[in-house]
Chains A and B, each alone.
Chain A
């Protein structure tokens, strides 16, 4: 997307922080993890080392992301789940539903 003014850049950055926070909450809620969402960092690998998620968890995340953002992650696109950042990039590249986003400070 084209970012023209400083205000637009700040608005985009704010929205991205909200999307990232929502993704972390989905990861913790959907996978019943016993950690605080803030414990997950944006670049931390979710699969393998890192959070050690597996393909069963990927399905759960796909379900959670769809119900929160109305965004479908299609087959063959599993690289989307690499980290919170890659998920946020993907969601924001789609026509996503932002009505459930909570403000972050």
Chain B
């Protein structure tokens, strides 16, 4: 199963320049997901972060993980009979799915263990730990070349 950017933008309300997720390569709907974010020198924030030393801002790494989380839990509402290989041909109310995406409500114990630079491919991993009412706590991790670069816990809300 591979979900590309076009399909991701059906599931998320985010748009340029803030759609920070390129692919979803593994998905257990409502439970866990693995995604890809490629970093290029062309990212607009490198102009200022920092001149002569381009580094991806940590908060944007968290945002990428939060967007993967949104894909993970919004697909949890899909019917079980869905054909994941041909999602585009399924009759899904994508606008309804995207409108359920809530907000990031908590960032806990996030460690940024290594600098992320242009040319790096981020492998993002999210696992749902606990849900209580409309809030879920998610274990998040990011890797570059198999090395752990981000590790921590976030909480996200879901709209009714």
* A residues neighboring B (CB under 8 Å): 55-56, 58-60, 62-63, 66, 73, 75-76, 78
Contacts and interface: CB of A to CB of B under 8 A. Distances in A.
Contact of A78 (B105, B133, B137): B133
Contacts of A76: 133
The size bracket of the interface on B is: 10 to 19
A84 B136 CA distance: 23
B133 A55 contact: yes
Contacts of A58: 132-133, 135
Contact of B137 (A55, A59, A73): A59
Nearest to A32: B108
Contacts of A62: 130, 132
B73 to A, nearest CB: 14
Nearest to A75: B133
A75 B136 CA distance: 12
By DSSP majority rule, is chain A's interface helix, strand, loop, or mixed? helix
A56 B157 CA distance: 9
Interface in B122-141: 129-133, 135-137
Nearest to A72: B130
B135 A63 contact: no
A58 B155 CA distance: 12
Contacts of A63: 129-130, 137
B140 to A, nearest CB: 15
11 contacts: A55-B133, A56-B106, A59-B106, A59-B130, A59-B133, A59-B136, A60-B106, A60-B137, A62-B132, A75-B131, A78-B133
Q: Which of A58, A59, A75 has the most CB of B within 10 A?
A: A59
B135 A56 contact: yes
Contacts of B136: 59
